[in-house]
Amino acid sequence: MISGMEAREAIIIGNPKAGRHKGKDHLKRCAEILRSDGLDVEVWPTERPQHATELATLAGARLVVAAGGDGTMNEVVNGLEADATLGILPLGTANVLARELGLPLNAEAACERILAGKERRIDVGVATDRKGRERRFTCMAGIGFDAHVVNEVTPRLKRYLKILAFPLAALKVYLEGDLPPLHVFHGEDKYVTQFAIVANGQYYGGDFRVAEEAALATGKLEVVLVDRVGRLLRADILTRILAKRPLDRSMRSFTARELRATSPGAQVPVQLDGEVWGHLPMSFRIEPDALKVVR
């Protein structure tokens, strides 16, 4: 059960337009469930991109319930104080972080879990761009292919196609081919590939598993390298993505506490927790036990 005086005060930072649930009334219902256990709850709805980060910086060391999809979770995490506790109300399409933590995907059940759950600490990844700006990610960073896919998935496409929006966009990007090579550096080692996933957790884009060793609390990132055949990424990789089957161990992978990636002469995008954030060159590192969550 949640302990501490600060935890008796909760803020729900919610996206009223999150994928599966519309309107502020749903957020109010969740607030009522939390209040039933004696929590003093306020609802702070988001109004624009990055607003959740701004709101989280104002929440102090309270219990902060992020209500929305993985993008909202990422925004909240990037605004939380070190002593704040994150609660998760999964209202999005993929809900990767909720799946990683084994949380209910039903909103009311998720509220009950927040009340009955225990606090634990998890690792977070940190990306640093060429200007020295930093951004946290809880589940994964994707370099190249999947960042292009995220760019293809418009809010309208996600609204109508739900979880199918990403596989269909992946097929489109795959058929276009000609992804530039990526140079991934880990210590003295250099890898050349066309698509890289820097994973803090196992799940990717929903219930599709991409990493076996990553588990939110290992103190390391798992880096999965996906190569191509001719102009295209390996066809078996695309098939597994479309079928939402785990990627096999024939791909190169390694664990790392830090690494960097470049793509000389090319503009290669990077996505963090399903939202595009900048282009290469970029470095990545793990911050062990950096985030307190309720599960």
The residues spanned by each domain of the chain are: 6-117, 125-294
Tokens of 189: 């080692």
CATH top-level class of 125-294 = mainly beta
CATH top-level class of 6-117 = alpha beta
Cis geometry, peptide bond prior to residue 281 (ω within 30 degrees of 0)? yes
pLDDT, tens digit, for every residue of 113-142?
999 999 999 999 999 999 999 999 999 999
Residues composing the chain: 295
CA–CA separation, 51 vs 76, rounded Å? 9
H/E element, 42: strand 40-45
Tokens of 192: 């050349």
pLDDT, tens digit, for every residue of 16-66?
766 554 545 789 999 999 999 999 999 999 999 999 999 999 999 999 999
Per-residue pLDDT at 214: 61
Per-residue pLDDT at 229: 45
pLDDT of 4 > 60? The answer is: no
| Residues with Cβ within 8 Å of residue 45, at least 6 apart in sequence | 14, 15, 16, 24, 27
Per-residue pLDDT at 230: 46
CA–CA separation, 260 vs 280, rounded Å? 9
7/83: higher pLDDT: 83
φ and ψ at residue 3, rounded to 5 degrees: -120, 165
pLDDT of 67 > 50? The answer is: yes
Please state the rounded mean pLDDT for residues 76-82: 97
Please state the rounded mean pLDDT for residues 229-239: 55
State the residue for tokens 């880096």: 223
pLDDT, tens digit, for every residue of 147-156?
988 888 877 7
| Residues with Cβ within 8 Å of residue 127, at least 6 apart in sequence | 134, 135, 136, 137, 141, 270, 272, 277, 278, 282, 283, 284
Tokens of 278: 């900048």
